[in-house]
Amino acid sequence: MLAINNLLVRRGEGAQAHQVRLPKLQIGAGQILAITGESGCGKSTLLEAIGLLLRPVELQRFSLSPPGSVLDIGQLLAADDQPALAAVRSRHLGFILQSGGLLPFLNVRDNINLPRQLLGMPTHSEHVAQAISALRLEGLLDKRPQALSIGERQRVACVRAIAHEPLLLLADEPTAALDPHSATRLFELLLSLVSNLGLSALVVSHDWALLKDFGLPRLGAISRQGETLFEPMD
């Protein structure tokens, strides 16, 4: 589903520059992988690069595999083909932000439907209906984000992120603002969605206890002078 080799992204210049390196990553449908490390080590930077929001300075391979085809993302990055990269982001990637990122002037139903609407997809989707049911959002659909708890907003954000049936889900600290019980419940639901819908998912998290409880495989940060290396951890 997702395959990356020798990705290097750099932030800053000169003595202030910091590099984030990913030697190898391969993740298939229905799999979820955690990205872990100390605060400020580059976890979000790595997620942004995989989410095509940062252009790598080095890259050997980057591909996404929709059913029956392969998208050579590396070639699009090398050509700096921004329209094509934007199309990949909008169609094949789903993002969950720490804040939820819901639009305050839309109700829950319209927030969830927005990605499908922007892509010209039919409003009704069994895929979305199943996710709404799994995350117990039926009674919230007519409410606006300000009327929801933080946990409810994050559950809505999860459904919106997968509403357009992306290949890859990218979540940046989705449980950071939640209490332990709500965080555990959200992780349970997120794992269920990934498995049932056949997505691939990368989740940045600093919650070591939660990741250990769920036994998620992870990419861990190894920090060196001026560089962070992300490698598989036991």
Domain ranges of the chain: 2-98+168-233
Q: Which strand (E) or helix (H) includes residue 131?
A: helix 126-134
**CATH of 2-98+168-233 among 1.20.1250.20, 3.40.50.300, 3.30.365.10, 3.60.10.10:** 3.40.50.300
Q: Give the sheet arrangement for strand 168-172, strand by strand.
A: 71-72, 61-64, 2-11, 18-27, 227-233, 218-224, 31-36, 200-204, 168-172, 93-96
User: Of the given ranges (2-6, 22-26, 132-136), which has the lowest mean pLDDT?
Assistant: 132-136
- Cα 52 from Cα 116, distance rounded (Å): 20
User: Of the given ranges (118-122, 141-145, 171-175), which has the lowest mean pLDDT?
Assistant: 171-175
pLDDT 10s digits, 64-76:
998 788 999 999 9
pLDDT 10s digits, 179-234:
888 888 888 888 888 888 888 999 998 888 888 888 889 999 999 888 999 999 86
Beta bridge partners of 201: 32, 169
Read off the tokens for 210: 């939660």
Residue 174 in this model has a pLDDT that exceeds 90: no
In this structure, are strands 227-233 and 18-27 parallel, antiparallel, or unpaired? parallel
Report whether 2 contacts 200 (CB < 8 A).
Answer: yes
Cβ contacts of 115 within 8 Å, gap of 6 or more: 90, 94, 160, 163, 164
**What are φ and ψ of residue 22, in 5° steps?**
-125, 100
Cβ contacts of 229 within 8 Å, gap of 6 or more: 21, 23, 221, 222, 223
The whole-number pLDDT of residue 196 equals 82
Side-chain half-sphere exposure of 54, counting CA atoms within 13 A? 21
Report whether 112 contacts 132 (CB < 8 A).
Answer: yes
- How close are the terminal C-alpha atoms of the chain, in Å? 22
The mean pLDDT of the chain is 91
Residue 205 gets the label, from left (phi > 0), alpha (psi -120 to 50) or beta, of beta
Report whether 190 contacts 158 (CB < 8 A).
Answer: yes
What letter represents residue 12's amino acid? Answer: G
Closest CA to 160 of 119, 205, 188: 119
DSSP 8-state symbol, 49: H
- Cα 126 from Cα 24, distance rounded (Å): 35
